[in-house]
Amino acid sequence: MTAVGSFDGVVAFVTGGAGGIGGAVATALAERGAKVAVADLNEEAAKAHADKIGGLAVGLDVGDADSVAAAVKTATDALGPIGVLVHTAGIVGGGGPLNGLPVEVFDTVSRVNFRGTFLITQAVANAMIAAGTKGAMVHISSAGAFSPTPGLGHYEATKAGMNALIRSAALELAEHGIRVNAVAPGPVDTPMTNFSAAPPEALAFWTERIPLGRIATPADLVPQILLLASADARHITGTILPVDGGQLLKG
């Protein structure tokens, strides 16, 4: 691990690396000298982003154990042992009150967000242990894991489950010198949410809940993700850090 601002020669594996938050983190890591694997279900977008930042595109379905194992091996063979995992791959997959939510939506979102977090954490942890790397993992949780919004219960439950996995992994992996943390954003303007194209009433619903008064951009999250991935956070593990403009102060 290296200090904030420099990830010189560090191999960073970014899931969802073609997405809004993952893409911004992948770019920031590459700018700071990391060798970045841009791992994403959308292989075309991963290739486009990897080409742009000088990274390696890797196809990945984070909910599939074989795909996860293959992607970690591809990145390791091409770039070297993984030092940093930033796990941003995630979906909302639909919405609605739990009493009407199709079970298929629940299963799809659980598979990607919850099962996927287990699979990628396990695979990267074992790769780090095998290589003797004292690495860092940063997951993207959600403020919704702590404070519910009607219609998002299925998604928020996967993020609460993810938080439990992160805390257990942090405890279990500490003896290997591997740290596991997360940031928990409030609403962020990305392709997932498309707030920049949202009608004013939808924007107002969210901004009124945020004391700092605005929707985040991926750039608002990047410094905290880099911090947790870096040696400057060497004594921090098992933390779920809200980056939410104060939203959780309102419950």
Using only the alpha carbons of the chain, give its radius of gyration: 17
Angle at 24 between CA 217 and CA 72, to 5 degrees: 135
Q: How far is the CB of 116 from ligand NAD (least distance, A)?
A: 6
| Residue 193 within binding range of ligand NAD, rule CB under 6 A | yes
- 249: DSSP letter: G
Number of residues that bind ligand NAD (CB under 6 A): 29
Instruction: Pick one of 27, 76, 110, 142: the residue that binds ligand NAD (CB under 6 A).
Output: 142
Active site residue 80: no
Pick one of 2, 10, 13, 16: the residue that binds ligand NAD (CB under 6 A): 16
Helix (H) or strand (E) segment spanning residue 241? strand 240-243
> Residue with the closest Cβ to ligand NAD?
19
Question: Binding to ligand NAD (CB under 6 A): which residues in 211-230?
Answer: none
**Interatomic CA distance for residues 234 and 58, integer angstroms:** 28
CB of 80 to ligand NAD, least distance (A): 22
41 near ligand NAD, judged by CB under 6 A = yes
Three-state SS letters, 98-152:
CCCCCHHHHHHHHHHHHHHHHHHHHHHHHHHHHHCCCCEEEEECCHHHCCCCCCC
The residue from 13, 106, 114, 155 that is catalytic is 155
Q: Which is nearer to ligand NAD, 33 or 149 (CB)?
A: 149
Known catalytic residues are 155
